[in-house]
């Protein structure tokens, strides 16, 4: 099992210092890789950890090559322009993904007679495909998938086990929807009438554009009217909630447990870190970033980085945090000042009282 360094660098533009005959049996991080395993260094921070690593071979960004002569004696170094990308390419050769199973249309799946299914599609046992569904070429519907009536799915789409598409959902090409994700459920909308919460019906749909990935257990609600939109190239992590009528731009990144209230809009290349919450009707400008656990209650300008709850520019938030760290010291200083003021006040009162006694005696 495994490959030599020489075999791994075939067709890769690189410079190697060390033993190219070294047999690589696996991969690991710098702190865990062993003498027959491959790791990588792509930044200065990890460069500092290299000397303590036991990795037998390391892929290194070429711009970090200086002063590594001592390391070359300990291990094989592979210098490339993009260490992470090269490492991932080598990993794919060492641990190739399982081949796509060709199961065709399982007789244990339910396929409505009105459904249109493209070429080279796999529908696994237990999958459900409803009325008037259109599925493109080279798609995979894994066990337990539910594609409800009227859905349109593009080419090369993968729906992992238990993914659910409610009726009339539109999915573009090259989309991945992971296990137990739900697309097109009604949004959380109610009117309070006569002491009761009356459900607002949702007549809209969801449109997911090309090259989108939806994480496991993520939910994308359908619009009240119109569409909830996930823009091209956007990636949603696990456990993300996108509410009704949200419209996300292209190439957004939403990390786990991000929650968007209704009618949030975003520009392109927006990043929301873990557990970010966004209030309804807020707009996130193109290229902005919200730090972990931020709460956005108003629009975020394009290109800005905000953090905190409520979210503020990162510089202002950091100043506030640093100020809070000084509070214990400030309290000590305040108590000391209070004692000094009390002492001075007492001395002043004694001094004033002494003068009055003197005046009374003289009278």
For 42, half-sphere exposure in the C-beta direction (CA atoms, 13 angstrom radius) is 11
CB atoms under 10 Å from CB of 56, counted, come to 23
Burial 124-156 (b: 16+ CB within 10 A, else e): bebbbbbeebbbbebbbbbebbbbbbbbbbbbb
User: How far apart are alpha carbons 86 and 91 in whole angstroms?
Assistant: 9
Under a CB-based contact definition with an 8 Å cutoff, are residues 191 and 228 in contact?
Answer: no
3-state secondary structure of 143: coil
Under a CB-based contact definition with an 8 Å cutoff, are residues 211 and 173 in contact?
Answer: yes
First to last CA, the chain: 112
The residues that are catalytic are 244
What are the helix and strand counts (H, E) for the chain? Answer: 6, 39
The angle that helices 327-362 and 314-325 make with each other, rounded to 10 degrees, is: 50
Cα pseudo-dihedral 149, 152, 155, 159, rounded to 10: -40
The torsion angles phi and psi of 8, rounded to 5 degrees, stand at -70, -30
Query: In terms of residues, how long is the chain?
Result: 363
User: How far apart are alpha carbons 221 and 202 in whole angstroms?
Assistant: 9
């Amino acid at each position: 099992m495994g490959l030599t360094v020489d075999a791994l660098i075939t067709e890769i533009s690189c410079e190697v210092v060390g033993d190219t005959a070294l047999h690589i049996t696996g991969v690991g991080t710098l702190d865990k890789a062993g003498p027959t395993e491959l790791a990588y260094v792509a930044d200065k921070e990890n460069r500092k950890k290299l000397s303590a690593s036991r990795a037998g071979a390391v892929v290194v960004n070429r711009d970090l090559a200086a002063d590594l002569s001592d390391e070359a004696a300990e291990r094989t170094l592979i210098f490339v322009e993009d260490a992470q990308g090269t490492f991932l390419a080598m990993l794919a050769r060492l641990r190739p993904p399982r081949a796509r199973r060709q199961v065709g249309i399982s007789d244990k799946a339910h396929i409505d007679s009105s459904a249109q299914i493209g070429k080279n599609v796999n529908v696994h046992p237990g999958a459900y495909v409803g009325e008037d569904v259109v599925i493109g070429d080279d798609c995979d519907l894994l066990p337990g998938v539910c594609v409800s009536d009227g859905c349109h799915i593009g080419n090369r789409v993968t729906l992992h086990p238990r993914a659910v598409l409610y009726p009339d959902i539109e999915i573009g090409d090259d989309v991945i929807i992971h296990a137990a994700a739900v697309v097109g459920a009604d949004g959380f909308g109610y009117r309070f009438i006569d002491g009761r919460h009356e459900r607002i019906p949702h007549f809209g749909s969801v449109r997911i554009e090309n090259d989108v990935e939806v994480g496991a257990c993520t939910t994308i609600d359908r619009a009240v009217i119109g569409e909830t939109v996930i823009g091209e190239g956007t990636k949603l992590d696990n456990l993300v909630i996108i509410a009704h009528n949200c419209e996300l731009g292209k190439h957004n990144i939403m990390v786990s447990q991000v929650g968007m209230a209704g009618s949030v809009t975003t520009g392109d290349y927006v990043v929301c870190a873990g557990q970010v919450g966004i209030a309804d009707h807020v707009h996130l400008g193109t290229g902005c970033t919200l730090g972990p656990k931020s709460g956005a209650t108003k629009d975020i300008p394009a290109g800005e980085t905000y953090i905190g709850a409520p979210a503020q520019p990162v510089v202002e938030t950091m100043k506030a945090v640093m100020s809070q760290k000084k509070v214990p010291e400030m309290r000590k200083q305040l108590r000391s000042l209070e004692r000094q003021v009390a002492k001075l006040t007492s001395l002043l009162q004694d001094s004033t009282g002494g003068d009055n006694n003197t005046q009374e005696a003289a009278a």
